[in-house]
Chain A
């Protein structure tokens, strides 16, 4: 079973920041937080991951709380092309695999 909890859906206005929350209260010390997204009829796309520090790349920022029990993915200036299902996954690597939950369906509207 997925070890994360996400809201089933969110809306965001184009050009505004989209803040997608994720709860992972049972995360272990060696587990990373990964975010993927899936645009309709395509395979999941990697966005970003982090262990305990905040991370930023060209796609998004990841903010992880100090106790690591929750995180927020931030899309700073959402566009219509960011409409997708966003998955938050905890993953330790090694001999484990990505376990997907139901994700958050983000709708970006004009």
Chain B
């Protein structure tokens, strides 16, 4: 396993179109996080899963955004009716959490979305 994998690395889409990103976490990790990062800013938390359960969603995650993690493995982040303000880097991270143990989070290389 070579780490957290995100696909695609780059996506250009027209305003109003729907886009979907995929994240494959490190195989034994039960936690999966999504972040968004705009130019010059630190990553902003969007949502996270423990196994297949979505435990928290940020207020940044509008109704146009939806994330899933079926079967607790890979995750998808969908943005419907994209807007130019959605242009950003979308980062995925994974970690392992159990009673008495919590590994650091490992990040993927991100998907850069450009809405034109």
Q: Is the CB of B97 within 8 A of A44?
A: no
Q: How far is the CA of A43 from the CA of B97 in the complex (A)?
A: 21
Q: How many A residues, CB 8 Å from partner?
A: 20
A14-22, A65-73, A95-103: which one contacts chain B? Answer: A95-103
A residues with CB within 8 A of B = 2, 34, 42-46, 49, 85, 87, 93-95, 97-103
Q: Is the pair B42, A97 in contact by a Cβ cutoff of 8 Å?
A: no
Tell whether, in the assembled complex, residue A102 and residue B41 are in contact, meaning their CB atoms are under 8 Å apart.
Answer: yes
The total number of A-B Cβ pairs within 8 Å is 45
Q: How far is the CA of A98 from the CA of B97 in the complex (A)?
A: 14
The one of A44, A45, A99 in contact with B45, judged by C-beta atoms closer than 8 angstroms, is A99
Chain A residues contacting B106 (CB-CB under 8 Å) are: 46
- Whether, in the assembled complex, B67 has its beta carbon less than 8 Å from a beta carbon of chain A, the answer is no
Contact B56 A102, beta carbon cutoff 8 Å: no
B48 touches A43 (CB 8 A): no
Chain B residue nearest to A44 (CB atoms) is: B107
Which B-chain residue is minimally distant from A47 (CB atoms)?
Answer: B104
